[in-house]
C-alpha cells in the first residue's frame, strides 16, 4: 500500500481519521507501521498528503492527516477492452488504474466467452475493490469510470465515435500493417481485442468508425501484458 485511500467516513474531525478492517490489517502486517510513522494518504477523489500515525491499537489506527496537494494527472487515454476472462480482468482493472487510466469500456466481441459476462466481478462493489487496490498502488485518489457494453456493433457505430471525439482513435491488432507509434502523449482512444483477437468484420467496423489498426511487432502479447505495454509505448 503506497497510499492510504481515505473515505469521508474515516474522518472523526477535519484532520483526524480512524482506520479499521482491511486497511488496518494491511498497514500492520505488510507495511509494518508503528506509532509516529508517516504514510502518504489521499482522500477518495480528492487531495493527497501525509498521515502521522498517533496511535495503534489491536483493531485500529489513528492518524493526523494533512492533505494539501493534487493527485497525479490522469492519463488522457480512454481504454476500450473486449471483456477479458475474470482472473485477468481483476489484474487489468488494478494495473490500468495504477497507470492512471480513468475511463474503461468493457465491450463484447465474437471471441468473448458469454460466461465472462456472468462473473460477479462485474458488480460495482467488486470493480471498486480492484480500482481501490490500483489507486493504493499507484498513489492516486481518482476512481476510474468503468462502463459495460454488451452490443459490439451498436456501441462501435453509435456510441464510440462520440466517446472518442477529439482523440486519436486506435485499435491494437496483431494483423495490422502499420506499427503502433510511440511517444504520442496526446488524447487517445485505444481499443484492445480479446485473446485470439477481433475477427475481421469487427476490425472493419472499427475502421468505419475511424479506428485504424496498429500492431506491436511479431510478438503476440497476453491482453494484460498488452494493456501495460501499449500505455507505456503511447505515453513514453
- Provide the binding-site residues for a second copy, judged by CB under 8 A: 2, 72, 94-95, 98-100, 137-140, 182-183, 217-222, 225, 228-233, 236
Instruction: Tell me the closest approach of the beta carbon of residue 155 to a second copy, in angstroms.
Output: 26
Q: What angle do CA 149, 151, 153 make, to 5 degrees?
A: 120
Instruction: Tell me the closest approach of the beta carbon of residue 223 to a second copy, in angstroms.
Output: 11
DSSP 8-state symbol, 118 = G
- For a second copy, give the closer residue by CB, 138 or 144: 138
- For a second copy, give the closer residue by CB, 95 or 108: 95
Instruction: Tell me the closest approach of the beta carbon of residue 73 to a second copy, in angstroms.
Output: 9
Instruction: Tell me the closest approach of the beta carbon of residue 18 to a second copy, in angstroms.
Output: 25
- For a second copy, give the closer residue by CB, 21 or 217: 217
- For a second copy, give the closer residue by CB, 160 or 230: 230
Instruction: Tell me the closest approach of the beta carbon of residue 69 to a second copy, in angstroms.
Output: 10
Instruction: Tell me the closest approach of the beta carbon of residue 110 to a second copy, in angstroms.
Output: 13
- Grid cell 494527472 in the structure block, residue: 73
DSSP reduced 3-state for 72:
coil
- For a second copy, give the closer residue by CB, 99 or 146: 99
Rounded Cα gap, residues 219 and 233, in angstroms: 15
**66 Cβ contact list (under 8 Å, min separation 6):** 15, 49, 50
Q: What angle do CA 219, 221, 227 make, to 5 degrees?
A: 130
C-alpha cell belonging to residue 117: 459476462
Instruction: Tell me the closest approach of the beta carbon of residue 151 to a second copy, in angstroms.
Output: 25
| CB of 176 closer than 8 Å to CB of 230 | no
Edge-first strand order for the sheet with 77-82 is 145-149, 103-107, 77-82, 188-192, 168-172, 212-215, 178-179
- For a second copy, give the closer residue by CB, 87 or 165: 87
C-alpha cell belonging to residue 118: 456472468
Q: Which of 40, 35, 34 is nearest to 66 (CA)?
A: 40
**125 Cβ contact list (under 8 Å, min separation 6):** none
- For a second copy, give the closer residue by CB, 193 or 205: 193
Amino acid at each position: 500500500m503506497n497510499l492510504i485511500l481515505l473515505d469521508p467516513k474515516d474522518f472523526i474531525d477535519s484532520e483526524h481519521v480512524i482506520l479499521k478492517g482491511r486497511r488496518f490489517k494491511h498497514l500492520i502486517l505488510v507495511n509494518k507501521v508503528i506509532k509516529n510513522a508517516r504514510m502518504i494518504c489521499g482522500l477518495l477523489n480528492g487531495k493527497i498528503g501525509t498521515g502521522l500515525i498517533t496511535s495503534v491499537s489491536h483493531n485500529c489506527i489513528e492518524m493526523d492527516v494533512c492533505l494539501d496537494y493534487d493527485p497525479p494527472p490522469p492519463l488522457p487515454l480512454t481504454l476500450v477492452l473486449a471483456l477479458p476472462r475474470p482472473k485477468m480482468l481483476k489484474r487489468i482493472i488494478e494495473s490500468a488504474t495504477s497507470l492512471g487510466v480513468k475511463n474503461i469500456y468493457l465491450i463484447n466481441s465474437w471471441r468473448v466467452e458469454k460466461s465472462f459476462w456472468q462473473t460477479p466481478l462485474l458488480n460495482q462493489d467488486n470493480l471498486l475493490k480492484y480500482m481501490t487496490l490500483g489507486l493504493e498502488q499507484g498513489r492516486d485518489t481518482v476512481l476510474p469510470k468503468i462502463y459495460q457494453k454488451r452490443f459490439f456493433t451498436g456501441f462501435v457505430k453509435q456510441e464510440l465515435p462520440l466517446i472518442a471525439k477529439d482523440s486519436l482513435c486506435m485499435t491494437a491488432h496483431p494483423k495490422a500493417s502499420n506499427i503502433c507509434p510511440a511517444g504520442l502523449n496526446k488524447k487517445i482512444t485505444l481499443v484492445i481485442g480479446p485473446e485470439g483477437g477481433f475477427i475481421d468484420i469487427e476490425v472493419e467496423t472499427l475502421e468505419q468508425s475511424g479506428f485504424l489498426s496498429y500492431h506491436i511487432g511479431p510478438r503476440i502479447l497476453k491482453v494484460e501484458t498488452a494493456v501495460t505495454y501499449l500505455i507505456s509505448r503511447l505515453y513514453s
